Structure 1
Amino acid sequence: MEQATRTIYSEYAAYRETQGIIAVEKRQPRDSLTDQFDTLLVVITRDPEVEWTIKHYRLNTLKVSLHLVHEDVLSRWILLNANRRAIHWIAEGTIVFERNDYLVDLKRQLLDFPDEERHLQMTISFAKLLRRFQDGRNLFSRGHHYDAYTHVHHALHHLARLSVLEKGKHPETVVWEQARLDDPDVYKLYEQLLMSEETLDQRIHLALIGLEHLLQSKVLSGGRYLFEIMRERTDPWTMYELMEEERLQEVKVDLSSLIDFFMRKGLIRISYQTTKGAGVELVTYEPVV
């Protein structure tokens, strides 16, 4: 099959902007990893005119999907775990072309998983977990059980991802299989929500109790990335400064609720600065941990 697909990817291998090409073969009749195609090709480029595009080919009876993606987009997918299939493509795909060991180095980086990247992903997952938990709890208290169930389900998913990240691993498309091995308590809570013989409202109620307990155990790991940035200077931070901090852009939408949560847990201290307005004070924040 590699010989057949070479007809398609050889054109891209000739471009100097192309850094590497990976081939991923279909493993089963309907394989989402390859978009149901027989072969999926990932062409990584430095061409500034390319962001991410897909082309579909037919070669005799072979169906091929080709993803042409800029290396910066791919790096963002990996850093933020924004496209979990991309991690599978790199880790499990076959290198069919590369320049200067580009893909060998990329595979090695995946295995190394630098702490800064992992801590960022942990804070992102914690922020989403917190948001889903709070929304689910509020909806449940108002009697909207179906909507509450959806939020609790998503909260558990983010909790599972956080547990996997704590073990130094990338969350995969089979994150619940990872959680079953790495954090049985989270997995058991998920099973209880899905398969318990209790009524729906009882299952949601029990899941919320379990989520609140497990949420507390993830506070330090979930906030580590934020705390490390805030500790880099001695002066307290205003909310405006935190919102403008480049390294916090990926949690910007949930930053206010994160700060409020950590403040109520005694992990962030609040202080005030006088302003020109009579009786008006500017609120500032600094980490306690």
Structure 2
Amino acid sequence: MEQMLRPVYQERASLPETLSVLLIGNQREDDPITDTFDEILFIITSNNEIPIQTKHYTDGKRKAAMHIISERQLTHWLLVGTNKKIIDWLILGKVFFDRDEYAERLKERLSEEPLFGRGIKMGMEMAKMIRAYNEGKIHFERKQHMDSYLYAINTLHHLARFVAVKRNVLPENTVWTQMKKIDPAVFKLYEELIGSEEEIEKRLDLVFLASEFFIHNYTNEAAVHLLAIMREKESWTVQQLHEQDELALYSSDLEFFIEYLVDKNLIEITQVPSKNELLFHREYRIIRAR
């Protein structure tokens, strides 16, 4: 199959936007890494107009898939951790073409930093945790305990993912099985919420008290990634922050996280005159040590 695919990857390698061409063969017939295909042709391109392009081939007996992935999409997957097989493809793939050693340098970084983008992952999980905590606390104070319970579960879920990343471990789908080994105290908190015979109000109160403690202790560490980007300029509009590729991954949680960091005196607001003399533009900058 590799010989039959040669003209395909040779054609792709001749294109100026192609960064790397890798071939991944299956280890067994039902190999999940190759989605049961016999071969995967994995091509990384600097052309970001189309994030993902896929084609399937067959010689009548065997089958192959070609995936052309933009550099931006690849970076997104590596940072967010939503496509774990991509790491397997990079590590296990046989490199046929590698402009400026792009794939080799990426492999080297992955070997040195197994949890790619650890800082942004912690920031994203903390932002989601703070939002879930705040919304859950509002429902709790209104005595809407069942709605509050759902947010409490989400709060602990993001706490568990944060703790895994903090320990340099990629969060699994079965994060609570992980947490039982990584941080038994966080697992016990989850166990108390879902399994205790205490009244739901007491269970929720415990979770929100503990969550507030964790948020307070971990905020500075979780904010490192966002604040590092903000140090690149004196001040930022919210639109400028959204347009940063890595900050865009925070999605709707970015503004909520920024407002929280304003409350914690890590970010400050500056007022810039607008066309309307009664209104000011709101910009943000980090509070530097004085």
TM-score band w.r.t. shorter chain: 0.7 to 0.9
Aligned residue for 2:224? Answer: 224
Residue aligned with 1:170, SS: coil
Deviation of 1:88 (Å)? 5.4
1:202 partnered with 2:202: yes
Give the direction of change, closer, same or farther, for the CA distance of 1:116–1:220 in structure 2 (3 Å limit). Answer: farther
Check conservation: 1:266, 1:288, Cα contact below 8 A: yes
Give the C-alpha shift of residue 191 in structure 1: 2.6
1:178-235 CA-partner distances (Å, limit 9, x unpaired):
44444333233223223333344433332222112111112012111111121223x3
Residues 184 and 87 of structure 1, relative CA distance in 2, 3 Å threshold: farther
* Aligned position for 1:45: 43
Which amino acid in the other structure matches residue 230 of structure 2?
Answer: M
TM-score norm. by structure 1 comes to 0.73
Contact 1:55 1:67 in 2 (8 A): yes
State the identity %: 26
Q: State the match for 2:78 in structure 1.
A: 78
- Change in 2 beyond 3 A, CA 1:46/1:283: closer
Residue 284, structure 1, aligned to residue 283, structure 2: yes
Count the aligned residue pairs: 273
Match of 2:156 in 1: 156
What corresponds to 2:268 in structure 1?
269
Any conservation in 2 of the 1:161–1:175 contact (CA below 8 Å)? yes
Using structure 2 for the length normalisation, give the TM-score: 0.73
Residue identity opposite 1:51 in structure 2: I
SS in 2 for 1:150: helix
- Note the alpha carbon deviations across 1:146-167, whole angstroms, 9 max, x for none: 4433332232222222222223
Distance, in Å, in 2 between the alignment partners of 1:183 and 1:56 is 46
| Superposition RMSD in Å | 3.9
Cα distance in 2 for partners of 1:182, 1:215 equals 18
Residue 24 of structure 2 aligns with which residue?
22
Gaps of 5+ in 2: 13-19
Q: What is the aligned partner in structure 1 of residue 16 from structure 2?
A: none
Structure 1 gaps, min length 5: 1-6
Q: SS where residue 222 of structure 2 aligns? A: helix
Contact 2:43–2:66 under 8 Å retained in 1 = no
Show the counterpart of 1:139. Answer: 139
Determine the structure 2 residue equivalent to 1:112.
112
CA separation of 1:246 and 1:34: change in aligned 2, threshold 3 A: closer
Q: Which residue of 1 aligns with 2:248?
A: 249
Indicate how the Cα distance of structure 1 residues 106 and 226 shifts in structure 2: closer, same or farther if over 3 A, else same. Answer: closer
Letter in 1 for 2:235: P
- Per-residue deviation, 1:104: 6.0
Residues 10 and 184 of structure 1: CA distance in aligned 2, closer, same or farther (over 3 Å): farther
